[in-house]
Structure 1
Amino acid sequence: MGVRVSSSNMADKKSPKVHKILLVATEAQPYVSVGGAGSVIGHLSGALTGLGYEVAVFIPKFGLIDEQKYPMKMAMEGLAVPTDDAINPELVCNVKYYENGSGVKIFFLENQEYFEKRANVYGYSDDPTRFLLLSRGALEFVRRGGFVPDVIHCNDWHAASIPFYIKTLYKNDPVLKNISSLLTIHNLAYQGIFDHRHVSEMNFDDGKSVIGSIFSDRVNTLNYMRRGIIFADAVNTVSRTYSKEILTPEFGEGLDKLLSELKGKLFGIVNGIDYDEFDPATDKLLHKNFDVNNIELRSENKKALQKEFDLPVSSEKMVFAFVGRLDFMKGVDLLTTVMHHVLKEYDVQFVEVGAGDWSLTERLNNLKNEFPTQVGIHPYPNFTLPRLVFGGADCILYPSRFEPCGIVQIEAMRYGAIPIVRNVGGLADTVENFDTIKQTGTGFLFNEFDEFSLFGKIIRAAELYKNAKLWRSLQTNAMRADYSWEFSAREYSKLYETTKNFHENPHRSFSALEGLTNL
């Protein structure tokens, strides 16, 4: 994996066949954002507009959305959304819209019972009903002329029924039959609300049968990701490596054989970050601003970070950090085990920011209690403290079991914090192992998910840190890497064109197509 840099020669025009894009999702930053997908939708839509596309986003109108901050207008009143239920054949919704400063129209599907009266975005027993309503609502809005795109860009299982509906219930619709569908898999581990790893034969969903009433108990056992993969014109993951990994049993979450059969329409595009928002030269959340030309000023942020966590202040002492969700997927259990050995043998510090699994929180508490002058933890959600961590820590640790993309390592590199990551998914796509002879690379990667591999890379980083010249070269490389949304948007531009071509010239078997994983 080479360091990605901006290219002025790369075509930045929108594709000739595709002009209008509709992104359908459950969240979009800044209106509602729970996970990484919300950030993707918010930034990608703006970057696509910058390429000349007419872009709209379609999400539920949750009650937690601030209508004072985002005043909405009525786009379509009294939209009757079919439910395929004999007793209650339709749900009446409204569609409102807000147009942001970048020219993206945000459409909100308004329904009191399923969206506005819910305190949370996810986590309800009727989530399949709620998101089938979102999907059918988006299609009905489109077919009635609310916004007619060339491509509907569906995100995760919540919108994955859209390609199924287009190719089945709406296959003869004069509007929808001409629209291409792209499914983006942000995390294959989520395929619905059932346990896809232990599904019984009685409840197994082949992905092709009729969905039926959105109120039936059956919708809770359907595999929406499977349906989207089968019926979408094209499918992509949020990194190239992950798009290849999910073809294997280890990462395929039970869909590896299906994905292998359809691999000709599977692609990978890595996520980006907003380089204007994440800019250490202007970031007001930092104690001291700096850029690639005066990295030495970072030491002031390290001191502020140490004070924040009540640790001994020393600009010479190496600081390791973890920022993110406390999840076994992220390898936090491995991280705490290895840091116990590191802290016992080396005079370094470790800080953590992020909430999640209670057992992992307990492991962090134990680490803090055993090494009170070396460890600082904040096991709670926090949206400002991570910036200080990025701007002050020397290394960010991300030993994930699997990682569809990962954004933290990109944000950290932008601020000169060096990533130590496992060589999987988006981590492999965005971090290049540092070569001390050539002085190329942006971080440290290890292959095996075990204590020895992670420990070895941490010690390598600690030893390299003692060589100020080499460490500065590594930081400079990391800060100059380009993972902006403008680059990713150009990749999506190519994929939209491919999606349209696949829709117009469908293949009977995609398994015969090779070499299309990389655009």
Structure 2
Amino acid sequence: MLTKIIATSNNKITVATLESIKPKFKSYAGVASEAVDLAKTGGLADAVPPLVKEMHKLGVDSRFFMPLYKQIPRSNAEKMFDIKVRLGGELVPGIVLIGKIPHTDIPAYFIGNDHFFNRDGGLYVDKNKQEYKDSNLRFTFFNRGVYETMIALRWTPDILHAHDWQAALCPALKDQMTIGNPQFKGMKTALSIHNIAFSGKFSRETISIAGFKESDYTPERFEFYDSFSFLKAGVVTSDVVFTVSPHYAKQILNQKNGCGFDGILNVHKEKLFGIVNGKEDSWDPWNDNYLKEKYDSQSVTRGKEENKKHLLKRFNLKYDPAKPVFGFVGRLTWQKGIDIIVESIERLLKEKDAQFILLGTGDERYHYELEMLRNRYPDNLGIALCYDEALSHLIIAGVDFILYPSRDEPCGLVQIFAEGDGTPPVVSEEGGLKDTVKDFDPETGTGTGVVINEVTPDALLEAMGRCMKYFDNKELLLTLRKNGMAEDFSWGKSAIEYVKVFNSLMP
């Protein structure tokens, strides 16, 4: 019988038969509002195309749908056809371009309307950083446009997988779109919630604009605290609901973390699953073209040291092999714990012999505080208040420890990238962090990072003190690094979990 290794950890190999993971479905559509290398604002863009690619690798006819923003490169896309999309009582013209998911031959369909998507601002906000006031119209057009595109293509997927509120009407529209289009009757729908804080909440009139009945405007259906919610419509109507980690799936069932959805999610909890996001091979340190020196678990000590030297040089900081370097890459927001990081940097650099490098943008108050800290500690603190993909790779591989003490983290990717690079993460127990990082026990040599029980400066400093002890014990440090690198967070492994659920929906 054919076999395939799907996970390797601590020298233990988990083996699954290829037959056990063979998809029972023949076709798959991924639907999202953004995608890496096309148009991106956050982690959603990193998560969706890789899953479509993995389905393609498993022999499934896989395709991707997203809006035709102004930011989409037109050089590799061509017009297929015009469509007309019903918004309320009006037929609104649209256009569909076909291209490819970057670096693949997988079809990507871009659904456009110049009024809705050909704008000078961002994907969701205008030039003044204000949310577009017609987002309900924009994404109703997109969701209905997905169906019109499938009708024109004469292609119906066995699985339609929508992501976040911007695509969450796709499951809800299935019943009304099946009228006159019976090919959609057997299609199964899935919704992934990447962050439940974003609900797609709009005025009641959106019900009629999207073509739903007034009877759908109830607490059991689409009404959400006196508004219409795209996300709730998707939760109620989809055949299966995913979140991006098992622990987050449990957390959003309670009032503290459910953002108002805990009630309806508990009603539908039998169809709720948590699957950790994967990482692409381009992040593996032996494949990563952004690194000064590539390495694997056998050459991790030298590889990380060479990247550390290069990183410190980028920030005009002096290299000292006796000094540990801590790092942070991410949004500078309260949710990410940046307030306790800022306070901890001050105390760390004042009391300990260490260095710190930070990359990110966010709340202006933290920009100011970090600039002040750099002025006080110019020899040991490097900051880049921007987004820089190449630099993020170098920092995660080049620092000795990465901080990620989030107060809210559905999945998180930085800690996954860090473990793969042999950079132990310091994390809270929120969401996917709990699923992906295990606290290191120096007695047994097990664990992949350092876990804090509360998000406070004292707890973070205590954890950083533990890190410094591990740094001084090179044998422990090497064990900790190799443990992280042995973890399997590949998209191939995550895709297997999705296939298991999708297979359960098939007749």
Indicate whether the TM-score tops 0.5. Answer: yes
The runs of 5 or more residues in structure 2 that have no matched partner are: 1-7, 126-131, 212-216, 218-222
Q: 1:466 aligns with which of 472, 477, 498?
A: 472
CA distance in 2: counterparts of 1:12 and 1:406, whole angstroms: 31
SS in 2 for 1:82: strand
Pairwise CA distance, 1:322: 0.3
* Corresponding residue number in structure 2 for 1:54: 61
Pairwise CA distance, 1:376: 0.8
TM superposition score normalised by structure 2: 0.89
**Which segment is superposed worse, 117-126 or 405-414?**
117-126
CA distance in 2: counterparts of 1:310 and 1:233, whole angstroms: 54
CA distance in 2: counterparts of 1:176 and 1:359, whole angstroms: 50
Structure possessing the higher relative contact order (Cα contacts under 8 Å, 6 or more residues apart): 1
Pairwise CA distance, 1:171: 5.9
CA distance in 1: counterparts of 2:104 and 2:288, whole angstroms: 21
CA distance in 2: counterparts of 1:392 and 1:306, whole angstroms: 9
* Corresponding residue number in structure 1 for 2:107: 105
* Matching residue's letter, 2:85: V
Q: 1:35 aligns with which of 36, 42, 45?
A: 42
SS in 1 for 2:48: helix
Alignment of 1:61-460 (within 5 A): 61-68=68-75, 70=76, 72-75=77-80, 77-85=81-89, 89-100=90-101, 102-123=104-125, 124-168=132-176, 170=178, 173-192=181-200, 211-213=207-209, 221-275=227-281, 277-297=282-302, 298-460=304-466
Size of the alignment, in residue pairs? 480
CA distance in 2: counterparts of 1:325 and 1:3, whole angstroms: 30
SS in 2 for 1:454: helix
| Contact 1:21–1:56 (Cα < 8 Å) also in 2 | yes
Pairwise CA distance, 1:225: 1.1
TM superposition score normalised by structure 1: 0.87
SS in 1 for 2:200: coil
Q: For residues 392-424 of structure 1, what are the alpha-carbon distances to aligned partners after superposition, in whole Å with 9 as ceiling and x for unaligned?
A: 100000000010111111111111111000011
CA distance in 2: counterparts of 1:226 and 1:310, whole angstroms: 50
* Matching residue's letter, 2:386: Y
Q: For residues 443-496 of structure 1, what are the alpha-carbon distances to aligned partners after superposition, in whole Å with 9 as ceiling and x for unaligned?
A: 011122222322221111111211110101100111121101110111111122
Closer/same/farther in 2, CA of residues 13 and 268 from structure 1, 3 Å limit:
same
* Matching residue's letter, 1:133: F
Pairwise CA distance, 1:288: 2.1
* Corresponding residue number in structure 2 for 1:199: none
CA distance in 2: counterparts of 1:447 and 1:234, whole angstroms: 32
CA distance in 1: counterparts of 2:408 and 2:472, whole angstroms: 31
Find out whether 1:475 has 2:451 as its counterpart: no
Closer/same/farther in 2, CA of residues 73 and 56 from structure 1, 3 Å limit:
same
Alignment of 1:482-501 (within 5 A): 482-498=488-504, 500-501=505-506
* Matching residue's letter, 1:188: I
Closer/same/farther in 2, CA of residues 370 and 293 from structure 1, 3 Å limit:
same
Q: For residues 267-299 of structure 1, what are the alpha-carbon distances to aligned partners after superposition, in whole Å with 9 as ceiling and x for unaligned?
A: 001001112x11322433222222211122121
SS in 2 for 1:67: coil
CA distance in 1: counterparts of 2:100 and 2:348, whole angstroms: 51
Closer/same/farther in 2, CA of residues 391 and 210 from structure 1, 3 Å limit:
closer
RMSD (Å) for aligned C-alpha atoms: 2.4
* Corresponding residue number in structure 1 for 2:214: none
**Which segment is superposed worse, 146-155 or 278-287?**
278-287
CA distance in 1: counterparts of 2:113 and 2:463, whole angstroms: 51
CA distance in 2: counterparts of 1:391 and 1:278, whole angstroms: 10
Q: For residues 245-280 of structure 1, what are the alpha-carbon distances to aligned partners after superposition, in whole Å with 9 as ceiling and x for unaligned?
A: 1011111111111111211110001001112x1132
* Corresponding residue number in structure 2 for 1:514: none
| Contact 1:21–1:153 (Cα < 8 Å) also in 2 | yes
* Matching residue's letter, 1:80: K
| Contact 1:12–1:51 (Cα < 8 Å) also in 2 | no
* Matching residue's letter, 2:34: E
CA distance in 1: counterparts of 2:48 and 2:110, whole angstroms: 14
